[in-house]
Amino acid sequence: MKRIKFLIIAGILACTFGCRDHDVTMVSIDNSNNVSIINDNTDNVSTEDNNVCTEDIIDNSDEKQSIYDEGSPEYLFEQFINGEIDAEILYPTETDREIKLNFSDLNINHKDWTFVSYSAGEQIDLDNDGENELIINGPYGGMYLDAIDGKLYVFAQAQGNAGSLDYTYYDGAYWIVIKDVTHGGRLYYHLYKYRGGDNLVDSMSLKGEWRSEDDKEFIFNEETITEDDFNRIHDDLFHK
């Protein structure tokens, strides 16, 4: 009889100490009383606590973070290309219908007519102020964008086939070029040097017309020059 009592007591103690860390408890999930899970009480953490939504952990992981400092020219260029901000036209003309421009409104990567397509190009210090400007490739040379006081501006843009946009490096500085080189018998160049996109510091003009072999005219900065002078100045300005 004592042996039976001893075995019963030993069994109870074994269950008490051997099973105490794995108690079976009822846990309600979504207000349901029909689901039970086993809690591992070893670390006093329930399975329900471990079921953390992974979306909460990696929240916003699909959002692109800019590598540029906020407000920097590169940051503004990136925002513009992403269609997040507009660029204001710094020197609007009579033909400009809008004074603000959004990249998403442009004809981006036109599949059939690449000539009318716009795309983001390289960055060069075109206004000689120590910061790069963004070239937007497009019809007749596209446009050039400059960051000024935390805002983005179009400071130079093409004006059609009689005023296509280009640039050149001359005498230690970049010059913006508006040119007409598509019409037979004439070459017109207007050059502008900036020290910051809103600060024009110098300009030049070079013109050549060949109406006939005996009727030619060449002008540099409103002064008549010879054809040889025209060719020499042209080569100096556009040596590239």
Largest CA distance in the chain: 140
Show the tokens assigned to 134. Answer: 């963004």
Every domain of the chain and the residues it spans:
73-237
Q: Residue 205: what pLDDT? A: 98
Residue 154's SS3 state is: strand
CA-CA-CA-CA torsion sign (74, 76, 77, 82): positive
The DSSP result for 77-109, as a single string, is HHHHHTTSS-EEESS--TT-S-SEE-GGGS-BT
Q: DSSP E strands: which ranges in 103-185?
A: 119-124, 133-137, 143-148, 151-157, 164-170, 173-180
For residue range 8-67, list pLDDT tens digits in order: 444 544 444 444 444 433 333 344 444 433 344 444 444 444 444 444 444 444 456 789
Please give the chain's pLDDT, 240 residues, in tens: 444 444 444 454 444 444 444 443 333 334 444 443 334 444 444 444 444 444 444 444 445 678 987 889 999 999 999 999 999 999 887 777 668 999 988 876 656 555 678 999 999 999 999 999 999 999 999 999 999 999 999 999 999 989 999 999 999 999 999 999 999 899 999 999 999 999 999 999 999 999 998 999 999 999 999 999 999 999 999 985
> 155, 46, 140, 153: which is closest to 100 by C-alpha?
153
